[in-house]
Amino acid sequence: MKVTTEIISWNETQSESNYSMVTEFIFLGLSNSRELQIFLFVFFFVFYVGIVFGNLLIVLTVSFDSHLHSPMYFLLANLSLIDLSLSSVTAPKMIADFFRKRKVISFKGCLTQIFLLHFFGGSELVILIAMAFDRYVAICKPLHYTTIMCGNVCIGIVSAAWGTGFLHSVSQLAFAVNLPFCGPNEVDSFYCDLPRVIKLACTDTYRLDIMVIANSGVLTVCSFVLLIISYTIILAIILRRPSDRSSKALSTLTAHITVVLLFFGPCIFIYAWPFPIRSLDKFLAVFYSVVTPLLNPVIYTLRNKDMKTAMRRLKK
Ligand SMILES: *[C@@H]1O[C@H](CO)[C@@H](O)[C@H](O)[C@H]1NC(C)=O
């Protein structure tokens, strides 16, 4: 293993303190095989372009089409914005890094990636819960829908999403900023995230691992359980009183549930699974960096008649 650590000359006081000596991290990337690299490069490039266009299209369509000015579409547009941001934290760097021999990220860059990843991830989680709540009110309390989901509530939800993302991210990062890094700096992945970066610290990381599981892990598992219960209740209610509107509701719900499974599956495996399989969770991370953010626009728009009509109107 080649040692690529660059150690600045430290004076004695600094090396005695807990100060980190690692100034950059090296990503090992997804694969070393040339053929696989070319394939992955094309795959990620196409997906990322799709993510940018797809999600921007949703945001523009919802913003400019007054027929779509309802809580569900506002939340959807906000979800698209978050998806685009989440993907932009990791994907562009990964794509640019593909053919670099040395995939370097600065220490600060690495912390920034961790911060933004958890910031947008935490916000996405709240938006997904809010979308479930919105469907619950629409389907189970249709008469009260406009009073419950009024403009202020929507703005409150979106603010709560950003607030939660921020608090979640800061509370996790607070533990990582002061970790002593004294040499090992190879991250076996294509982006920085806590479980992997913690492993490189020159200290007993057991408590930090627990902290990540307690924060990210519990948050994802609890939200996931909450969402599954909510959607089960909504589905049960729809199936009990079938009507002509229920088939449309059913297709919206299956779209939501698919997105929830795709988002939480990899997250739970990465943060909450007690016996992580390192080589596998590297590939699972691909899911929430390029697959889920692309599937949202695909799932929500291709199967949604209102959205399709609105896009056609926008084109004119
Ligand atoms: C996000 O939601 C808020 C509150 O409903 C809404 O005003 C805003 O337009 C949404 N953002 C986007 C990009 O649609």
For ligand 1, whether the C-beta of 58 sits within 6 Å is: no
Read off the pLDDT band of 120 (50, 70, 90): very high
Cα within 13 Å of Cα(238), Cβ side: 22
Under the banding of pLDDT at 50, 70 and 90, the label for residue 124 is very high
> Mean pLDDT, the chain, as a whole number?
82
In sequence order, what are the beta bridge partners of 25? 105
The answer to whether residue 182 scores a pLDDT higher than 50 is yes
Beta strands in the chain (DSSP E): 24-27, 103-106, 186-187
The angle at the Cα of 268, spanning 58 to 168, to the nearest 5 degrees, equals: 70
The residue with tokens 């469907």 is 135
Report how far residue 182's alpha carbon sits from residue 187's, in angstroms, rounded to the nearest whole number: 14
Alpha carbon 100 to its chain's center: 26
Residue nearest to atom 2 of ligand 1 (CA): 74
Query: Which amino acid belongs to residue 246?
Result: S
Q: How far apart are CA 316 and CA 314, in angstroms?
A: 5
> Is there an atom of ligand 1 within 6 Å of 164 CB?
no
**Residues with Cβ < 8 Å from 111, sequence gap 6 or more?**
173, 176, 177, 192
What pLDDT is attached to residue 162? 96
Cα 88 to averaged position of ligand 1 atoms, centre (Å): 20
Contact 103, 29 (CB under 8 A): yes
Q: Say which residue, 230 or 16, is predicted with more confidence.
A: 230
Of 166-175, 194-203, 258-267, which has the strongest mean pLDDT? 166-175
Q: What are the φ and ψ backbone dihedral angles of 25, each rounded to 5 degrees?
A: -115, 150
Confidence of residue 274 (pLDDT cuts 50, 70, 90): low
Q: At what angle do helices 244-271 and 292-302 cross, to 10 degrees?
A: 180
From CA 172, how far away is CA 211, in angstroms rounded?
Answer: 8
One-letter amino acid identity for 178?
N
pTM: 0.85
pLDDT of residue 14: 42
- pLDDT, tens digit, for every residue of 27-43? 887 777 788 888 888 99
| CA 41 – ligand 1 centroid, Å | 33
Q: For residue 35, what are its two tokens?
A: 């053929």
